Structure 1
Amino acid sequence: MVPTWLDVLAWVALLSALTCAAEIVWDIRVRGWRQHMAVMEWVWPITALYAGPLATWAYRAWGRAATHRADDAGGMPEKPFWAAVAVGTTHCGAGCTLGDIAAETVVFLLGLQLAGSALLAEYAGDFLLALLLGVLFQYFAIAPMRGLGLRRGLAVATKADVLSLTAFEVGLFGWMAVMSLALFPDPHLRPASPAYWFLMQVGMCIGFATSYPMNWWLVRRGVKEAM
Structure 2
Amino acid sequence: MILWFAEVAGSVVFVAGDILRTPESPVLKWGFVIVTLFTGPIGLVLYILSCREPLPGVHENYVRARWRQVVGSTMHCVAGDGIGILVAAAVLSPLGLPEWVNFLAEYGLGFLFGWTIFQALFMRAMVGGNYLLSLRKTFLPEFVSMNALMAGMIALSVPWRQALGMLATPTHPEFWFIMSISLTLGFIVTYPMNWWLVSAGLKHGMMTIRPEGHPVPLAAGLALAGAAISPSRQNPSIPSSKASPQSPSARARNLDKARMIVVSLALLSIGLTIAGTVGSLTTS
Q: Which of 26, 39, 45 is the equivalent residue of 1:51?
A: 39
Q: Which has the higher helix share?
A: 1
Q: Is the 8 A contact 2:85 2:109 kept in 1?
A: yes
Q: 1:129 is matched by which residue type in structure 2? A: L
Q: What aligned pairs does 1:45-194 form with structure 2 within 5 A after superposition?
A: 45-65=33-53, 73-76=56-59, 77-79=61-63, 80-108=65-93, 111=95, 113=97, 117=98, 119-135=99-115, 136-140=117-121, 142-181=123-162, 183-184=163-164, 189-194=168-173
Q: 5+ unaligned residues in a row in structure 1: which ranges?
A: 1-9
* Residues 140/38 of structure 1: CA separation in 2 closer, same or farther (3 Å cut): farther
Q: Is the 8 A contact 1:168 1:211 kept in 2?
A: yes
Instruction: Report the aligned-residue RMSD.
Output: 2.3
Q: Is the 8 A contact 1:96 1:126 kept in 2?
A: no
Q: Does residue 1:222 correspond to 2:201, yes or no? A: yes
2: distance between equivalents of 1:203 and 1:59?
19
Q: Tell me the TM-score normalized by structure 1.
A: 0.79
* Residues 55/188 of structure 1: CA separation in 2 closer, same or farther (3 Å cut): closer
2: distance between equivalents of 1:63 and 1:192?
34
Q: Does residue 1:11 correspond to 2:2, yes or no? A: yes
Q: Is the 8 A contact 1:167 1:207 kept in 2?
A: yes
* Residues 216/141 of structure 1: CA separation in 2 closer, same or farther (3 Å cut): farther
Secondary structure in 2 matching 1:64: coil
Q: 2:124 is matched by which residue type in structure 1? A: A
* Residues 173/192 of structure 1: CA separation in 2 closer, same or farther (3 Å cut): same
Secondary structure in 1 matching 2:58: coil
2: distance between equivalents of 1:64 and 1:163?
28
1: distance between equivalents of 2:155 and 2:119?
24
Instruction: Give the structure 1 partner of residue 185 of structure 2.
Output: 206
Equivalent residue pairs, number? 203
Q: Is the 8 A contact 2:34 2:79 kept in 1?
A: yes
Deviation at 1:124, TM superposition (A): 2.0
Alignment deviations for residues 33-79 of structure 1 (CA, whole Å, 9 cap, x no partner): 1543111121011111122112112222333339xxx7xx3223333
Q: 1:193 is matched by which residue type in structure 2? A: H
Q: What aligned pairs does 1:28-47 form with structure 2 within 5 A after superposition?
A: 28=19, 32-33=20-21, 35-47=23-35
* Residues 18/101 of structure 1: CA separation in 2 closer, same or farther (3 Å cut): farther
Q: Is the 8 A contact 1:17 1:49 kept in 2?
A: yes
Q: Is the 8 A contact 2:38 2:184 kept in 1?
A: yes
Instruction: Give the structure 2 partner of residue 27 of structure 1.
Output: 18
Q: Is the 8 A contact 2:114 2:142 kept in 1?
A: yes
Alignment deviations for residues 4-26 of structure 1 (CA, whole Å, 9 cap, x no partner): xxxxxx12212321231132222
2: distance between equivalents of 1:106 and 1:35?
36
Alignment deviations for residues 84-110 of structure 1 (CA, whole Å, 9 cap, x no partner): 11221111110122112211221135x
Q: 2:85 is matched by which residue type in structure 1? A: D
Q: 5+ unaligned residues in a row in structure 2: which ranges?
A: 207-284
Q: Is the 8 A contact 1:46 1:94 kept in 2?
A: yes
Bigger mean CA deviation after superposition, 170-179 or 75-84: 75-84
Deviation at 1:148, TM superposition (A): 4.4
* Residues 140/212 of structure 1: CA separation in 2 closer, same or farther (3 Å cut): same
Instruction: Give the structure 2 partner of residue 6 of structure 1.
Output: none
1: distance between equivalents of 2:11 and 2:121?
24
Identity of aligned residues (%): 25
Give the greater-gyration-radius structure (CA): 2
